[in-house]
């Protein structure tokens, strides 16, 4: 599978489609899911083009992977979720429920 530059999240990253932005830095972009499953349902995407979690784990360099997680920690602190409960989930592949083929994490919380 080749990364499709016309996927919805690529368009959101290029500001071609609007979104409710929550957090952005050099490594990640984060915005509200259009169809929230919980009180807080935020999508976190790398700014670089990876298809899914395995593409990211296999092909992003170690620096980028660690900065990605450091940025997620900043997002969690900004949302004041450090001492509350939350889930992070990633669907991989059509069989795994993935609909948009730009790697993303779902950050979910009912707090």
Distances from the Cα of 72 to the Cα of 4, 11, 35, 85, 101, angstroms: 24, 21, 21, 15, 20
* Shortest spacing between CB 24 and ligand 5GP, in angstroms: 14
Residue from 77, 97, 110, 111 binding ligand 5GP (CB under 6 A): 97
Give me the half-sphere count of Cα atoms (radius 13 Å) on the Cβ side of residue 87. 10
Minimum Å gap between C-beta 98 and ligand 5GP is 4
From candidates 35, 58, 63, 95, binder to ligand 5GP by CB under 6 A: 35
Q: How far apart are the first and last CA of the chain?
A: 37
* Residue 22 in the binding site for ligand 5GP (CB under 6 A): no
Give yes or no for residue 99 binding ligand 5GP (CB under 6 A).
yes
Examine the residue annotation and report whether 104 is marked as an active-site residue of this protein: yes
List the structure tokens of 54.
């395995």
Is residue 80 at the binding interface for ligand 5GP, with CB under 6 A as the rule?
A: no
Our CB check for ligand 5GP shows the closer of 57 and 97 to be 97
Instruction: Tell whether the torsion through CA atoms of 35, 40, 45 and 51 is positive or negative.
Output: negative
Residues that are catalytic: 104
């Amino acid at each position: 599978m080749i990364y499709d530059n016309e996927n919805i999240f690529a368009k959101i990253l290029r500001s071609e489609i609007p979104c409710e932005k929550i957090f952005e830095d050099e490594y990640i972009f984060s915005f509200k899911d259009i169809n929230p499953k919980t009180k807080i349902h935020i999508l976190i995407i790398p700014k670089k083009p990876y298809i899914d979690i395995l593409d990211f784990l296999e092909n992003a360099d170690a620096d980028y992977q660690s900065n990605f997680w450091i940025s997620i920690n900043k997002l969690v602190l900004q949302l004041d979720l450090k001492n509350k409960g939350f889930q992070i989930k990633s669907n991989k592949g059509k069989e795994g429920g993935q609909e948009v083929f730009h790697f993303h994490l779902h950050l979910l919380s009912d707090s």
